[in-house]
Amino acid sequence: MSDYYAPIQDMQFVIDEIAGLDAIAKLPNFEDATPDLVAAVLEQAAVLATEVFSPLNPSGDEHGTHIDGGVVVSPPGYAEAYRQFVDNGWQGIGKSAAIDGQGLPFLMHSAVAEMWYASNMAFALCPLLTSGAIEAIESHATESLQKLYLPKLVTGEWSGTMNLTEPQAGSDLAAIRTRAEREGDNYLIYGQKIYITWGEHELSDNIVHLVLARLPDAPAGVKGISLFLVPKYLVNEDGSRGERNDLRVVSVESKMGIHSSPTCVMSYGDQDGAIGYLIGEEHNGLACMFTMMNNARLEVGMQGVAISERAYQSAVLFARERVQGVAHGHSQRSAIIHHPDVRRMLMQMRAIAQAGRALAYYASAQTDLAHHAESAEQRASHQRRVDLIIPIVKGWCTEMAQEATYLGVQVHGGMGFIEETGAAQYMRDARILTIYEGTTGIQALDLMGRKLLHDKGQAMADLIEELTAFSQQLDATGGDIGALATRFSTALAALEEATRFYLQNVADDPELGSAVGVDYLMLAGNVVCAWLMARAAIAAQGRIDAGSSDHFYPHKIKTALFFAEHILPRSEAQAVMVKAGSDSVMAIAADNF
pLDDT at position 2 over 80: no
Give the residue among 319, 337, 345, 474 at the shortest CA–CA distance from 403: 345
pLDDT digits (tens, 9 = 90+) for 507-528: 999 999 999 999 999 999 999 9
Tell me how far CA of residue 382 lies from CA of 366, 375, 376, 545, 556, in angstroms: 6, 11, 10, 32, 27
Q: How far apart are CA 39 and CA 15, in angstroms?
A: 10
pLDDT at position 276 over 90: yes
The C-alpha torsion from 490 through 492 and 495 to 498, rounded to 10°, is -50
Q: Do 398 and 433 meet the contact criterion of CB atoms below 8 Å apart?
A: yes
Q: How far apart are CA 420 and CA 441, in angstroms?
A: 33
Which positions are catalytic? 437
For 210, the 3-state DSSP assignment is strand
Q: Do 464 and 499 meet the contact criterion of CB atoms below 8 Å apart?
A: yes
Give, as one character, the DSSP assignment of residue 339. S
The pLDDT assigned to 3 comes to 86
Residue 371: count other Cβ atoms within 10 Å of its Cβ.
15
**Average pLDDT in the 195-207 region?**
97
The alpha carbons of the chain give a radius of gyration, in whole angstroms, of 24
Taken in order 200, 203, 205, 209, the sign of the CA dihedral is negative
Q: What residues does each domain of the chain span? A: 136-284, 440-585
Residue 275: count other Cβ atoms within 10 Å of its Cβ.
21
For 1, the 3-state DSSP assignment is coil
Q: Which comes out higher in pLDDT, residue 94 or 209?
A: 209
Q: What percent of the chain has pLDDT over 70?
A: 100
Phi, psi angle pair for 197, to nearest 5°: -65, 125
Could you tell me if residue 91 is left (phi over 0), alpha (psi between -120 and 50 degrees) or otherwise beta?
alpha
The pLDDT assigned to 221 comes to 86
Q: How far apart are CA 191 and CA 321, in angstroms?
A: 54
The pLDDT assigned to 1 comes to 53
The C-alpha torsion from 511 through 516 and 522 to 526, rounded to 10°, is -120
**Average pLDDT in the 192-200 region?**
96
pLDDT digits (tens, 9 = 90+) for 233-256: 999 999 999 999 999 999 999 999
Q: Do 325 and 334 meet the contact criterion of CB atoms below 8 Å apart?
A: yes
Q: How far apart are CA 561 and CA 567, in angstroms?
A: 10
Q: Which numeric CATH code is attached to 136-284?
A: 2.40.110.20
**Average pLDDT in the 92-98 region?**
91
Q: How far apart are CA 357 and CA 110, in angstroms?
A: 10
* Mean pLDDT of all residues belonging to the chain: 95
- Name the residue type at position 477: T
Lowest average pLDDT, out of 169-173, 237-241, 365-369, 392-396, goes to 169-173
Q: Which residues pair with 416 in a beta bridge?
A: none
pLDDT at position 48 over 70: yes
Q: Do 319 and 411 meet the contact criterion of CB atoms below 8 Å apart?
A: yes
pLDDT at position 292 over 80: no
pLDDT at position 172 over 90: no
Give the residue among 550, 431, 427, 576 at the shortest CA–CA distance from 490: 576
pTM: 0.96
For 331, the 3-state DSSP assignment is coil
pLDDT at position 583 over 90: yes
First-to-final CA distance of the chain: 42
The C-alpha torsion from 310 through 311 and 316 to 319, rounded to 10°, is 150
Contacts of 172 (CB under 8 A, 6+ apart): none
193: exposed, middle or buried (C-beta count within 10 Å: 0-12, 13-18, 19+)? buried
- Helix 35-48, helix 8-17: angle, nearest 10: 150
Q: Do 324 and 336 meet the contact criterion of CB atoms below 8 Å apart?
A: yes
Q: What percent of the chain has pLDDT over 90?
A: 88
Q: How far apart are CA 325 and CA 290, in angstroms?
A: 53
**Average pLDDT in the 376-389 region?**
96
Q: How far apart are CA 494 and CA 375, in angstroms?
A: 34
- List, in sequence order, every beta strand (DSSP E) within 5-95: 66-68, 71-73
pLDDT at position 66 over 70: yes
pLDDT digits (tens, 9 = 90+) for 427-472: 999 999 999 999 999 999 999 998 999 999 999 999 999 999 999 9
pLDDT at position 286 over 80: yes
The pLDDT assigned to 459 comes to 97
Give, as one character, the DSSP assignment of residue 502. H
Lowest average pLDDT, out of 19-23, 96-100, 244-248, 584-588, goes to 96-100
- Name the residue type at position 176: I
The pLDDT assigned to 478 comes to 77
Residue 314: count other Cβ atoms within 10 Å of its Cβ.
26
Residue 573: count other Cβ atoms within 10 Å of its Cβ.
12
**Average pLDDT in the 336-344 region?**
96
